[in-house]
Structure formats: structure tokens, C-alpha cells
Structure 1
Amino acid sequence: MTQLVEQDIQPPASKIIRIEIDQVNIDILIRDPGKHMQIWNYPISQQDEIRRAYIKFGPYQFIMDEYPLSGLKSHPRRFKAHWFKSFSWLEYSPEVDAVFCLSCYFFSRKSSPFTSGGFRNWKKVNNGKDCAFLSHVDKSLNSPHNITVKSCKDLLNQLCHIDKVLAKQNSQQVLSNRLRLKASIDTIGNAKFCLIVDEVRDKSKREQIALVVRFVDKYGFVKERLIDVHVKDTTSATLKQEICSALSHHNLNIQNVRDQGYDGVALVAAAKEVINVHTFFQSLSNITNLRDGSWGALLNKVNSFCNDHAIQIPDMDASFSDIIRSCRKKDVVIVEHHYRIDIFTSVLDFQLKELNNRFSE
């Protein structure tokens, strides 16, 4: 009994017909599957385009009143047109009186009569469950034929290709983010805002700074918007210039900055060169001076304020009683010690510790 034998699709080099032209005119492609070249003989750059054109044409199902007889002279057989309805993938070539499989011609990795030469053993068609057409399709979803059918659908449905989807989504997302950023920045206007700046590298290893603008919108909600800025280096001078340029580009006045957060030695150095930020760093030394020698002056100002507004002033020399402390402990702390050490100095020490952690310089 004759069986269909599938072999690797790579034919001997001597049997491959190489075309010399660089481009193929898609408008004059030969429809007859027995006459056109194998797909690998077309220019590689055009193969997908040619596949797409043939798939849009559909299978070449040539209708005749009577097809040629072939086979044994004692019992010749012929192709039947109603087979097209049962097997939509069939193509018929009047040139060679044989059928081909459209999808396998384009994508099959195996060589068979349905992809090269053509199938014409009509006796094997009307053979029940051993029908050659059914055997070619196979019941498995992962059969070579079904895989090529899916490949054809995927090729036509190019908009669903992952690279196309990602490119489309990325471009739309970038545009959406830019519009969102512009709308957000416009709402800031001349209001006050905060900056959070960090040095980072993108996937291409380019230096950039992540600049986050934090502000309160007109509805009273705190918003944050990211502005990424590419820089040629991370020196303090470059970072200072890029920060100022980014704010200026979005019409944000640096004089309206009311709080800053910086990560990185160069960024801290750059921040010190900005007027408002420089003033902020100068005030750090004032906090230290205030802690060490300004308690007396502060106390005099508080006493003067209380006297002007008829506010009772506690006796600073009296013993201080803390109701939270255990009653078994003796009151050995005076009121002035409580305000000066437990409150005033403690708060300043906490601030200095926090600032030292954030700004090592």
C-alpha cells in the first residue's frame, strides 16, 4: 500500500531553484499551486508579504465540469469538486492535476505531496477513516497542519503581534503620561510644591535623574508626578543645571520649592547651589546654635509674649510633676528643666538626627 511519507523540508541544494531578482511583484503572483515556486525560493525580505497575499487570495479551488482521469487504466479516478466543501484548505492545480495544502505550503517544516509536487492518489481519499485528507489534518490540535493554519491566522492578525501591541501601548502610554503630566503641572501654577530627586540609570545604562514633583491640587489632594531627565554625567554642576532646566521647562518657579529630598552625594552638592536650597542648608547651622545657646533669649521672648496677652506664666523654679510617671518616684525635676531639656532640646536633637541621616555632608 502506498503511504504518504513526510521528510525534512530541506531539499538538496542542487534542487533548489534560486531566483536572482531582488523583489517580486505581488500583483502578478501565480495562483496555480502547481506552477508557483516554493516559498523558500522567494526573497527572504518578501516571504511574509507573499504569504499574506496568497492567504488573502484564499485557496486556489479551480472548478471544472469534469476533472482529468488518472491512476490505473483498469480503474481510473478523478478529483471531485465537492471535496472543496469538506476540506477548505485544499488547492487544486489544473496544471499538474493534483491538490496542495495552502497553509502547509507556507509554514510546514516537513516536505510532503501536499507541499511539493502535489497529491493525486484519489483512491486514498474515499478510504473511510484512513482518508488521506483526514490523515493530513490529524485530530491533534498540535498536528503540523493545524499549527500551520494557526500560523496563517497569526500572520494576518498582525495587529495582535506582541511587538506591535507593546509598541502601540507604549506610544499611547507615553502620550497619555505626557498629557497627564502637562495637565498636572498646569494646575500647580504659582503654588508651592516639593521636590524629590534621585540618581538612577535606565536599561540602556544612561545616567538620569528621577525628579518627582509633589503638590496639592485644587481639590486638596496630594499629587506626585515624575519627570525623568537624562544627564551626560552626575557631577553637581550638571545635576544642578538639569534640575533647574526641567523645572523651567514645565514653568515651575524654583522660588516656590518648599521642601526637598535628595539621594546621592552629587545631588546634595547640587542642591546646595540652588538659592532656596542653599538657604535651607544654612539654616541647619542655626538649629545647632539655637540648641546650644538660645534658650535664655527664647524664654525671654515667650515671657514677653505671655505678659502682653495676659497668659499665666508657670513658676520655672517649681517642681515638675508628671502624671504619667509612677507616683512612687519623687519630683526632682523643676519646670524649667522639663521645658528646656525634655521638650526644647529633645525636639532639636530629633531634628538634627533626622537631618544628619538624610544629609551626610
Structure 2
Amino acid sequence: MKIIVPMAGRGSRLRPHTLTIPKPLIPVAGKPIVHRLVEDIAGVLNQDIEEIAFVIHESFGKKVEEDLVAIAQKLGAKGTIYYQNEALGTGHAIMCAKDSLSGPAVIAYADTLIRANFDLDANADSVIWVKQVDHPEAFGVVNLNDANEIIELVEKPKEFVSDLAVIGIYYFKDVAVLKNELQLVIENNIIHGGEYQINDGIKQMMAKGMIFVPGEVDEWMDCGNKDVTVETNSRMLGFLQNDGVNLVDPSVKLEHSTIIPPCYIGENVVLINSTVGPNVSLGDACHVQNSTIQNSLIQTHSHIKNANLDNAMIGNHASFDGNFKNISIGDYSVLE
């Protein structure tokens, strides 16, 4: 089994946090989004992962590439890096990894996290993960027949088709078939919204009689902007606590301070006269003094004092001293 992860976008809706680090490498509950994503997929599939191919922008740099390869290696897989330097769509991004497009594979876009537990349908040519939503008109949705097979993909339907939204994770029994169809999409310049789309390759597969079925997830968590990323951090902390995961590193130093779970507290964090939690992630080597923090996501090596934070997101190596609450400041920022 292979996992293909298109992640070349810079994540403009999550700025300033993505000015210095690609969105999929921003930690949520102490671990990069893309790391959690591939771990969750590997857990759902319950199969050995042969290769994880990451499609990135060349400007991400060698350090990011090394981190991604290391993520794959932790799962016992080969890590491969491909480049998409032009924003030409989902279909184009997948084709940038064409040398890895063979055999069974999952394609997953790296701005979403899932919780799921099910077996793949051995009779299906493809599985498209979906989640029931309250406002399907805001999403791409699937249309099913009486046999629970996907017969149509509809983008933001004005009239009700279904309430099962496509979440951006796909399984293909042989991803080479998708590669061949996407090659035709590109050769014939089939463009929607100015881009080459994965849906056009999928629709051609459906037209040839291939069987697509839905795979429904229990939880679907977005990391598209600051507010939903903070919310996803809170939800993930709750899931990890219920799973019995130890989220507080033993090196944490507490002085007249309280941690209200669930919280992720990294290595060498110092808390002085502070209350942290619930639903807070504090990265390694953070220093918090005279503060109350809840429902917030703070990265590594940041110093927080005299703060009352709620729904806040703070980057790496930042310094915050103030009377603000709902804030979003990026790496190396100073607000005093």
C-alpha cells in the first residue's frame, strides 16, 4: 500500500503561521498535521505501508523534505519527495507523483484529520471517504445508487443531492488507472476553475464501469484557518485522552501552577503561577508565567506572561506579554 499526499499549497488562510512553515507541518496536539494524517490512514487501512509520496513546493526547503522522509520512515515506509511548483489543481498535483502511481494507494490532502474504523471493500475499485454534514451545499458531495455505490460527484449542489461530503481522502485498488485517466485529462486540457481536477479522472473511471463506494469516517477535522485549527487541536486532545495517551512530558516544571486536562505539554516546559487547560497544546521549551490559557495552540520555545488566552494560536519562538485574549501571532513575533 502507498500513500500519496499532495501538500504544495502554502496555506494562506492560516497566515501568519504558514509564512515560516508549511501548513501540514504545523503541530496539532504535539504532532505535525501530516504526521497525524498518515498515521491515522495507516491505522484505518491496517496494512503495511510501502511508500509515502509527498508532493510539495520546491521552496519548502531541504529541512522540510528531511522531516517528511523521517515521518514515512517512522511508519516503516519509504519517503519520496515530488514537486508541484505551479498551482494547477488536484489532478496536476497527483500527476507530479506519477512515478509512484502504481498498485493500491490512498491519496490524502494534508489539511484534514480523521477518526475512522472500517475495512476496505475488497470488491470496490475505489473508496471515497465522506462525512455527513449539515450544509452539503457548501461541499462537494457524492450521489449514491440503491446498491450504495457512488455514481456521481457534485460540487456545491444548489439542490439537494446528498449530505455526504467528500473530505479529500481516496483509496484506489490500482492507482495506475487513475494516473492513465488524469493523463488524458491533461492531454485534452480538461480544466475546471482554471485547474486540472482529480474529479475529472474519477468521472472517467466511473464512465468505464468502475465501482466506487463511500467510506464514512467518524470524525472529520479541518485545519484550514486559525479558528478551526484551534478547534481541531481541542478535539484531538480529547480523543487522545480517551485513548489513554500520556500527553504531559515528565520534564515539565510546575511552580504554583495547574494543568487542566486534556492538554499536550511538551519537553522542558516551565509553568509558573499559571493555569493551563483545558484543550491547550504547549510545544517544547515554552515558558508560561502569571497566565491563564485555555482552548489554545502554542508552538515551541515561546514565552507567555501576564496573559489570559482563549482561542489563541501562537507560533514558535514568540514572546507575548499583554492583556489580549483571542490572538494569532506567528513565529518570532513579539507582542509586549
Shared fold, TM over 0.5: no
| TM-score after normalising by structure 2 | 0.21
| TM-score after normalising by structure 1 | 0.20
Give the number of the structure whose residues are more often strand, by fraction: 2
Which has the larger Rg?
1
